[in-house]
Structure formats: C-alpha cells, structure tokens
Structure 1
C-alpha cells in the first residue's frame, strides 16, 4: 500500500510539473521580452565567468610556481588579452571586408550555383524519380540556407557597437571573478547544508575535471584547426580565407558533424573559382581533419570524457533536433555534466 501511495504521489508530481510547464509555455509572449532584457544584462557576466573559468588553471599553475595570485592574473591578462586585442584589431577589418564582399557577390555566386544545379539536373535525369527530386530539393535548401546565413552575419555585424561594449565589460568582469573565485566558491558553499558541503565540493571538482578539460581542450583544437585552415587557404589563393577558416574553426567544436558543416561554405565558395580549387579546398579540409583526429586531439584532449562515440552521436542528434546549432554545441558538455551527476548519484546510493 505504501508503495502504491508513493507511486501515486510521484505520478501526481510529474503531472503537475507538466501542467505548470505547459502553462509557462503558453504564456511565453508575456515573459519572453523580460527574459531577453535579463539575458542582455546577464550576458557580460556569463561570458566573463566563462573566460575566468578557462583561465583559472593557468593562474593556478603560475601560483604553484611561486607567483602571487594578483600578479599571475595581471600577467596572464596582459598576454591573453593583449594577443586577443591585437588579433581583433588586425582581423576584424579584414573579416568585415570579406563578409561584405561575399554579401555583394551573393547574386553572382547564386547564378553560378544555379548553373551547377542545372548541369546536375541534366546529368541525373536518368536516376530514379524520387531520388532525383530529393537530391534537387537538398541542393536548393543548401543554397537558401547559405543566403540566409550571410544575411544573419551581416545583420550581426551591424550591431557592432553592442559587441564593442561587451568587449570592454567582459575582461573587467572576468578579472574580478578570477581574482575572487576561491572566496566566491567558499561563500557559495556556505549556502549549502553543512553535511552536504564536502559532497558538493567533490561533485564540482569532478565536473571541472571532466567538463572543464573537455571545453578547454576543444577550444584549443578549434583554434589550431581554424588558424591552420586560414594559413593554407591563403597560401593556395583561396578567396575569403579568414572568414571561411573562422567558420571551420567554430563548427569544429561540434564532434563528428562539425567538420562537414564547416566544409560546405568553403567548398561552395571554391566552386565559384574553379573545380580544381574546390578539390584543393576539400583536400585541405580532409588533411586537417585527419591530423585533428589522429594527432592534435589525442595530444591536447586525450580521453577527457570517456564516453562511447555512439552515446555522443545520440546526444548530438537530440541536441540538434531540440535546439539547432546551439543544441549541437551544448549537447556534449551537457552529456558530460549528466554523466558526473549519475556517477555521484550511484555513489550515494551505494553508500546508502
């Protein structure tokens, strides 16, 4: 009887939770504007926290070497933000010029793609009816999405003043968060009941070990791949090397699917130059991905997450379906967090 009552209460709880979430979803026109304002205000703190989290191990390393924490943070900031600032100062004008040029040339490029599509249409007329139509639909969709992506990037850069404000605020916020991180953590732990503090501390340590190592390693790999692509594109005379290598570097953060997503814009642009350039670009991307999978990632990341590839692919499919590109990027970090939570739950159950 007690078991039946227990399950009845659980069922009632989940039913009530579903109703609350459904009503919350229906009322989204009321709370979405408030959420957008809140996110605008919070975003500098989120980015600042993320940067301070990335730099925290380097500060710890310098402290172990005998350097004062304040001096270590100052030195690190001078190096990291000095290099980043110089890169932005030199790179942004080139990036914007390349983006504007590709936006201006979009109609011309679209005409070339239509020519390729017509040739493709002619050469595949003998294929089965359904397969032929399906391939044509996929190509048309890719053309439409490419145009939409260019427009989104141009619109995003038109709000450059907001980005500049963030660029000024984020280093300041991250500096103070990094400087006082240990004190803030201890104060945060005081909000947790004393009997659960040590358990919470171990949980946060495990999350940092698994998730933090993955994020830092993945960002470093993306930086290496993006920089290598930019250099090779430039040496081989490819148009828009900075813009296209940036896309390749950013999409590389998505395991398995990212390289294919990043390769599409580069190959499409290469096709507007010549077929041989498209082959060169494809070869560059294949070589980079081979090196990333067999040399760079094993050295930089090792076996950080210890998750089966099939589990990661499943998480990516679910994340992509639920939240698009953001879901693809966040799927693996969320999976790593869930893994640590389940491991701690199992540990507590065994102790119990």
Structure 2
C-alpha cells in the first residue's frame, strides 16, 4: 500500500508545476519559432492592409492627391527662388505671387506653343499624311495576301463605324467631358495649394513637427530638408536635361525638314520627365511623323538623331546635373514607373521616380546627416 501513498511534498511540487504550466501555456505558444513567425505574418498582414487602404483612398481622391503632390514638387523646385527673395527683403506674399505667376506663365507658354505649332502646320501635315497613306495602300494592294488584309480592314472600319454610332460612344463622350471637368478642378486646386506651399511652407512643416521630441524631431527635420532638396534638385535637373534634349532634337528635325518640329520638341521636353520610357516614346512619335511626311530614309535619320541626343544626355548631362545622390538603379526606376502607371496613369508615371528618390533620400539621412538607416548601410567584408 506504501507504493500508492503520495508524498505531500511531491504533491505540492506537481501541483506547482501544473499551475505554472497553466499560467505560461497561452503565451508560450507565441514564444517559439513558429509563434514568432505567426506574429510576423500578422504584422505583415496589418501593414499590407493599411497600405492597401491608403492606396485605395489615393485612387478614390486623385482629384485632391495628385494636385497636392504636384504642388509639393513644384514648391520644392522653386524653394531656392523663394529663399533668395526672402533674404533680399521681398515680402512673402509678393515673392509668392511672383513665383506663382512665373510657374503659370511657363506652363501656359508650353501649352500655347504646342497649340500654335499644330494649328500652323496641321494642313500641311494632313496633306502629306494623305499622300503617305495612299502610298501605303497602293503598296499593300500589290501583296499576294491583299484580299485577306482588305477583309480585315473592312471589319475594322465596320467596328469603328458601329462604335461611333452606338450609345456607348455617347457615354464615352460624356465621360470625356467629366474628365475635362476633373482636370480643370485639379488644376485650380493645384495652383491654390501651390500658393500656400510657397507662402507658408516652412510654417506648415514646423506645425507638422510639433508632436516630435528629441532625436525623433531631429530625424523628421533631416527628412524634411532632404526631401525638399531631392525633389527640387530632381525637377530642376530633369528640366534642364529635358530642355537640352528638346533643343538638340529640334535642331535635327529642322535640318531634316520634319513637319511639326516644334510640337515634337515640346513633347520631347515633357516626356523627358518619364525616365527611360519617355525618350523612347518621343523618338517613336518623331520617327512616325517623319515616316508619314518624308519617307522611310528621313525617318531613319530622325531615329539616329534621337539616339545620339539621348546618348549624349545619358553619358554627360545627367551625371553632372542630377548627381550621384539621386541616382537610382534602372531596375528600381522600372518598378517605380510600373507601380506609378498602374496607380495614377501618366501622371503617376511622372511622379513615381521623384517620389522614390525622395524616399531613398530620407533613408540616407535616417540615423544622421550623412548616416543612412542601419539596414541600408554598405557592409564591409568583415561585417558581411
């Protein structure tokens, strides 16, 4: 019977272990490797959900968010001008009005130049395009499979005619009117926001920094200064490079007597703000106009001019004007362009790279004026 007798001390120890295990059991499930993996998974899900919510809100409020971002970038680009005028004793309101009028005049001048050049040369280009299309049709008629091609062309023409006479075309036209109204609203909003950014930008930033203290305040201040520097330098450098590209290609188009040379040069300037893709699209459009107006040999010369100008710009101008601090890897640029295009269309493609450059600039000053975040620092062989 002694074998089945329980020792009181043993009973107390076992009951203590049972109580301890019962107390620790719920938390111990999160303490092992699998538990830590589950915690990380939950954190990732929360971050993705928050990011998705932010992206959804941005997509729903593009009339507000896009003008806000454009105004911020333009304000950063003209921040040195505002600072120079303030240091010279110019009142803040007067300096803001002068800078804002300069920006509006530049944008209006670009748009007016395109409209004037197109109207001035449209009749000539239209006549040349008719002749070029007639030559293409005459050449197609000599092909052995002309009957099949003709049938496909008839089907395409019939489809387009049906669409133009359908109710869907009318709804699309109404959607276009709505898009124009949204553009006008966004333009007015952008100019208004830009006015306040130019006039009260430093005070707005100081207001946003009020919740921060100590090292957090210094970090936020560094990030703000770096963002203004990167965005401003990016816009000014890109505009300079785009201007040189546009002038070089304009000279080539005028020498080759390509119609719409001025609108094409302005288009080169605008598309230069979309890295990699913009130069390609501008070259294709210039070559197509030359092909329709002057023939294939002239189009090949146009392609050669575009390639030469872009090569000179990429090898000499960009390294000097943009600097290494804002140089992003081509892979990063392509990913940023893709994401920006998906989220915001053409405007998103234009804004994607400067925003990415600003984010990377913030990372480079995260732990100090010249000290990147720990995970972004280059490792020495001994630390790898």
Give TM-score, length-normalised by structure 1.
Answer: 0.67
Q: Counterparts of 1:270 and 1:159 in 2: how far apart (Å)?
A: 32
Q: Counterparts of 2:183 and 2:360 in 1: how far apart (Å)?
A: 35
- In the TM superposition, residue 244 of structure 1 has moved relative to its aligned partner by 2.2
Partner residue in 1 for 2:306: 285
Q: Counterparts of 2:123 and 2:71 in 1: how far apart (Å)?
A: 30
Deviation readout 1:276-331 (Å, 9 max, x if unpaired): 32133223313322432344334432334244xxxx22123333554547575455
Please tell me whether residue 225 in structure 1 is matched to residue 225 in structure 2. Answer: no
Partner residue in 1 for 2:232: 212
- In the TM superposition, residue 198 of structure 1 has moved relative to its aligned partner by 1.4
- Counterpart among 31, 42, 45 of residue 12 in structure 1: 42
- Counterpart among 324, 338, 353 of residue 332 in structure 1: 353
Deviation readout 1:140-188 (Å, 9 max, x if unpaired): xxxxxxxxxxxx9xx9799656545555553343122210111111111
Structure 2 CA distance for partners of 1:263 and 1:7, relative to 1, 3 Å: same
Structure 2 CA distance for partners of 1:313 and 1:42, relative to 1, 3 Å: closer
Name structure 2 gaps, 5 residues minimum: 1-27, 146-171, 376-384
| Contact 1:225/1:288 (<8 A) preserved | yes
| Contact 1:229/1:285 (<8 A) preserved | yes
Deviation readout 1:85-107 (Å, 9 max, x if unpaired): 34434443434676899799878
SS of 1:217's equivalent in the other structure is helix
Structure 2 CA distance for partners of 1:44 and 1:255, relative to 1, 3 Å: closer
Partner residue in 1 for 2:258: 238
Task: Please list, as runs of the form range in 1=range in 2, the aligned pairs for 1:1-352 lying within 5 A after superposition.
Answer: 2=31, 4=33, 5-15=35-45, 35-36=59-60, 38-95=61-118, 163-164=183-184, 166-193=186-213, 195-272=215-292, 273-307=294-328, 312-324=329-341, 326=346, 329-343=350-364, 344=366, 347=372, 349=374
Deviation readout 1:96-134 (Å, 9 max, x if unpaired): 676899799878766766788999999xxxxxxxxxxxx
- In the TM superposition, residue 210 of structure 1 has moved relative to its aligned partner by 3.2
Q: Counterparts of 1:274 and 1:158 in 2: how far apart (Å)?
A: 39
| Contact 1:213/1:304 (<8 A) preserved | no
Q: Return 60-69 or 113-122, whichever deviates more.
A: 113-122
CA RMSD, 1 decimal: 4.4
Q: How many positions carry a matched residue from both structures? A: 308
Higher relative contact order (CA 8 A, sep 6+): 2
Q: Counterparts of 1:210 and 1:20 in 2: how far apart (Å)?
A: 27
Q: Counterparts of 1:313 and 1:119 in 2: how far apart (Å)?
A: 45
Q: Which one has a bigger Cα radius of gyration?
A: 2
Deviation readout 1:15-48 (Å, 9 max, x if unpaired): 45557888x79xx9xx78x954x32245444433
Structure 2 CA distance for partners of 1:94 and 1:197, relative to 1, 3 Å: same
Q: Counterparts of 1:238 and 1:80 in 2: how far apart (Å)?
A: 30
Structure 2 CA distance for partners of 1:95 and 1:194, relative to 1, 3 Å: farther
| Contact 2:363/2:373 (<8 A) preserved | no
Structure 2 CA distance for partners of 1:40 and 1:322, relative to 1, 3 Å: closer
Give TM-score, length-normalised by structure 2.
Answer: 0.63
Q: Counterparts of 2:144 and 2:265 in 1: how far apart (Å)?
A: 31
Partner residue in 2 for 1:135: none
- In the TM superposition, residue 263 of structure 1 has moved relative to its aligned partner by 0.7
Deviation readout 1:236-279 (Å, 9 max, x if unpaired): 32122233223322332333443223211111221122233213
- In the TM superposition, residue 55 of structure 1 has moved relative to its aligned partner by 1.2
